[in-house]
Amino acid sequence: MAKYNEKNTQCKPIAFDEFVSILESQKEALFSPENIEVNTQLLQRLFLNREFLVKFLCDETLEQDDKVNTYTYQVYLLTVSDYFVIRANVWLPESVTTDKNVFSYGFAHDHNFDLLTLGYFGSGYETLLCEYDNSETTGMPGEQVELSNFQRVRLSEGSVLFMQNSKDVHIQYPSKDLSISLNIMGTVPSEKPQLKFDVENKMIAKSLTGTIEQHYQKLYHLYEEQGRKSICELAESC
C-alpha cells in the first residue's frame, strides 16, 4: 500500500553526496520495509538542503551547449547507481500545459519499479491513490481488476510518498504552480508491465511499458523556453 508522510522540520539537512552514499550502502535492500522508513527520513532531510538542486540546475543550464541531455526539461538525472536512479521532475500548472500526457496528468497508471518521491519545491501535484493485487492479474487490456484503499494526497513541499511496484496505482493532477519533485527509483523493474487503468470501470486499459519515456522526450520540443524560465524562477526564489 502507498505510504504518505508529511513534512518533518525537526530533522537536520543532509548533503547530497552523503545522501547518495547512504543509499548506495543499502544495495538491493534499498526498498525493504525498514529502509523505506530510513530513506523517507533521508528525503525529509534532503528537503532542508535548499542549495544543492539550485546549483545543479544552474550548472545544467550553463552546460546545455556542451552536452546532449537525453532527458527533457521536465526530467533531470541527478545520480545513477546499480540499484537506483535519482531524478528531479519539473511539474507545470494546467495553465501552461498543452499536452497533459507529457506529464502523465489525468490517467491512472502504476509503475513497474519501486518509487520514493519527495515534494521539493512548489505546491506539488495532487494524486489519487489506490492499489490492486498484481498476483491476480495478467495485464491484458480489458481485464477486470479490484481496486481498493483509495486516498488522495498532495505532494507538497517536504512530504514524501512511497509507491510499490506493480501494486500501487495513481492519477496525477496538475500542480497549482511550478513544482519540483525528487524521485528515488529502483533500477530492477517488476516482471509485470507498467499498466494504464480505467478506474471507473475497474479494468486494465492498456500496457504502458516503454511509452512514459517517449512522453518525456516530447517535452524538449514543447517546453524548451518554459523550462529555462522555470530554472531561473527556482534559482531566484532560494
Helix (H) or strand (E) holding 228: helix 224-237
- Which residue, 208, 225, 223, is CA-closest to 75? 223
Count of residues making up the chain: 238
| Rounded-to-integer distance, Cα 157 and Cα 230, Å | 17
pLDDT tens column, 123-142? 999 999 999 999 989 899 99
Residue 93 has pLDDT above 70, yes or no: yes
Model confidence, pTM: 0.83
Question: What domains appear along the chain, each with residue ranges and CATH number?
Answer: 3-223 (2.60.120.10)
Residue 229 has pLDDT above 90, yes or no: no
Provide the b/e sequence for 194-215 (b: ≥16 CB within 10 Å).
bbbbbbeeeebbbbbeeeeeeb
What band does 198 get if pLDDT is binned at 50, 70 and 90?
Answer: very high
What band does 1 get if pLDDT is binned at 50, 70 and 90?
Answer: confident
Residue 189 is which amino acid?
P
How far are the Cα atoms of 59, 60, 74, 235 from residue 65, in angstroms, in the given order?
Answer: 11, 10, 18, 20
Q: How far is CA 203 from the centre of its chain?
A: 24
pLDDT at site 15: 98
Instruction: Indicate the Cα dihedral angle 236, 80, 166, 191, nearest 10°.
Output: 160
| Rounded-to-integer distance, Cα 78 and Cα 86, Å | 5
Q: Which residues, in sequence order, are CB contacts of 154 under 8 Å at separation 6+? A: 119, 123, 124, 125, 126, 127
pLDDT tens column, 25-58? 999 999 999 999 999 999 999 999 999 999 988 8
Helix, coil or strand: residue 131: strand
- Which residue, 185, 183, 229, 235, is CA-closest to 59? 235
Residue 236 has pLDDT above 80, yes or no: no
How far are the Cα atoms of 117, 194, 209, 212 from residue 191, in angstroms, in the given order?
Answer: 22, 9, 11, 17
